[in-house]
Amino acid sequence: MVIASVGYDKMNFASFIIVPRSAVGAYPTALSLAEAVVEKKVKGAVVFPLEGREEVPEWHSPELTIDYQLQRKTNRGDAPIELVRTT
């Protein structure tokens, strides 16, 4: 589940990142680990960018919840898993 707060003048982007447990200890913070993944310094990491735009009715509350499910791919490609939106 991802919860994002988006204002009228900005847009938040998010990614779901999976890293091997062995890589976690080499970085002091989650942010430094995420930066290393983006720079392709963490072998075996998988990144799933989440959609950056969502149409929301103007009467909707400022908080929006979008659910995803991680599942095995039926056809093998680059990664054996995929992130599927469920809501």
* Full-model pTM: 0.61
pLDDT confidence tier of residue 59, bands split at 50, 70 and 90: confident
Question: What is the spatial distance between Cα 41 and Cα 26, in angstroms, rounded to a whole number?
Answer: 11
Average pLDDT over residues 29-44: 88
Going from N- to C-terminal start, the domains of the chain cover 15-85
Q: Residue 22: is it exposed, middle or buried by C-beta count within 10 angstroms (0-12/13-18/19+)?
A: exposed
At residue 11, the pLDDT reads 56
